[in-house]
Chain A
């Protein structure tokens, strides 16, 4: 039974635990020049270290019952699940807070063209200052070089003293100007980033005035209610140590049926709606994850590390997928939960849900704090200009 489920699961686990980490180790080792000769050997060593830490991961968590053997599937899935669930909770927490913040235009600061022009002018002025200082440095260096040639011709005691004093003053001057240049370059980078920030805010304001923008704004309000509800539920689950018995869609439909007295075939509709919702949740969360990761990795990629980055991405995606199968269990109607339970083996599912709630709450609260600070800090910066 459930042959395809199990086949897929085994293959994914194989890839996640054996193939990808080994490949990552291989590429990392290839990048280090010293170890070029015995790449395979060192790659194997890296892989064994990875397996050791992976195994150790299982110890602090109450995820296994003792009747499982050491090489059973449950051992592997439980560990992969822990990592994946942590990751998912972190991202969901951040996403749950960031999503309404991004979509709702209430949070958009007011940016005028004049602000942008003023910043651009400042940026260009800073660049001009950097240029003039660098010209001075170049000219001074050239003069020192020319004088240095003359100095070399001077011999004797006085010649040596003269050369020491004049070059010293020249180089002191140079290092002073160089320090000023470094400070100005740092300033120019900051100004550039601020200008980019203002430009993107201005574009978002323009976008929000369009029809599409208004639609997303409305979605933003809707999502924010959903996110607040999720945070609330996570808190309640932890405080009251409760585990949900029925999934939200079935409960929602039951409530509708009881209050409105409409005749619904609860089973039929709950099954379909919950699957659609679960599908949407997984697709949007994976899409959100990929977009965030892409932005992050785009910033740090280079020709050397691109292989490693792609593999790390694959690893993260794989773990994310396995754990979303795990967590999906909560959102499914009762009869389907047994399928997941059977395929994944006997894991302590309650632990995972609890762990997810904890990390989700922590992540959501810290991202609220973080966004609040970032939002407060930005208008102050512009007021100072």
Chain B
């Protein structure tokens, strides 16, 4: 468990989109029974065999840091949250497919996390406007996840998918739609159905 092998991934998103459920699902292989509001930051760990089966196989611990809160929080909350954004290897942005606002807030979330990363003094440089150029030269990989797809009625699903296509275009991303079937889970009630779109 040397510090060289440390992989830290932030999980960001609005309140109530399903970050804690997602992290719990990835690390414990179980559905979170009683989700509650995350205060501060909750961390969970997943063991990952990098390049499994090859001679270069290496075991990594992926730390998923699930930071709670919203983009519109008080500045004291924001500056305290910034403590968690140090030396991040990757960012997972989570948004709720039933809630348009949460997708729009993703830009601000990514700016908050990336600005903290790049400027050691902690001063936020941009005025909040979205700028594609910032993502072009960004060395930190982003993963965008949309949750609660199964709660959208059949009629609106194509509309939602076009919206997410625009979203991935804005982040200069490739889009892969992956739907995880219910059968995968050991427990039954309404699990989180994920559709991933991968960004490079």
A interface, CB within 8 angstroms of B:
120, 123-124, 127, 130-132, 134-135, 137-139, 142, 185, 188-189, 191-193, 195-197, 199-200, 202-203, 299, 302-303
Contacts and interface: CB of A to CB of B under 8 A. Distances in A.
27 contacts: A120-B80, A123-B40, A130-B43, A131-B43, A131-B63, A132-B1, A134-B45, A135-B1, A135-B61, A138-B27, A138-B47, A138-B61, A139-B47, A189-B39, A192-B41, A192-B80, A193-B39, A195-B80, A196-B77, A196-B80, A197-B76, A199-B76, A199-B79, A200-B74, A200-B76, A203-B76, A303-B98
A139 B99 CA distance: 37
B83 interface: yes
Contacts of B74: 200
A138 B75 contact: no
A135 B45 contact: yes
Contact of B43 (A120, A134, A192): A134
A120 B80 CA distance: 8
Interface of B: 1, 16, 27, 37, 39-47, 61, 63, 65, 74-77, 79-80, 83-84, 98-99
B83 A123 contact: yes
A127 B47 contact: no
A303 B83 contact: no
A199 B75 CA distance: 9
Q: Determine chain A's interface SS by DSSP, over half rule.
A: helix
Contacts of A185: 42
Nearest to B74: A200
Contacts of A196: 76-77, 80
Contacts of B98: 303
B42 to A, nearest CB: 7
Given A134-B44, A138-B47, A192-B39, 14 more contacts: A120-B80, A127-B41, A131-B43, A131-B45, A131-B63, A132-B1, A135-B61, A142-B47, A188-B40, A195-B83, A199-B77, A200-B76, A303-B16, A303-B98
Contacts of B46: 138
A378 to B, nearest CB: 15
B41 A302 contact: no
A131 B46 CA distance: 11
Contact of A302 (B16, B47, B65): B16
Contacts of A138: 27, 45-47, 61
A192 B40 contact: yes
Nearest to A194: B80
A124 B83 contact: yes
B83 to A, nearest CB: 5
A135 B65 CA distance: 14
9 residue pairs, one from A and one from B, having the closest CB atoms: A192-B40, A200-B76, A199-B76, A134-B45, A189-B39, A195-B80, A196-B80, A120-B83, A135-B61
A9 to B, nearest CB: 37
B41 A188 contact: yes
Nearest to A121: B83
A147 B74 CA distance: 49
B148 to A, nearest CB: 9
Contacts of A134: 43-45
Contacts of B43: 127, 130-131, 134
Contacts of B44: 134
Given A135-B1, A299-B37, A199 B80 contact: yes
Contacts of B37: 299
Nearest to B46: A138
Contacts of A197: 76
A198 to B, nearest CB: 8
Nearest to A124: B83
Contacts of A123: 40, 83
Contacts of B63: 131
Contacts of A132: 1
A191 B1 CA distance: 26
A138 B39 CA distance: 23
Contacts of A303: 16, 98-99
A193 B38 CA distance: 12
Nearest to B84: A127
Contacts of A131: 43, 45, 63
A127 B41 CA distance: 9
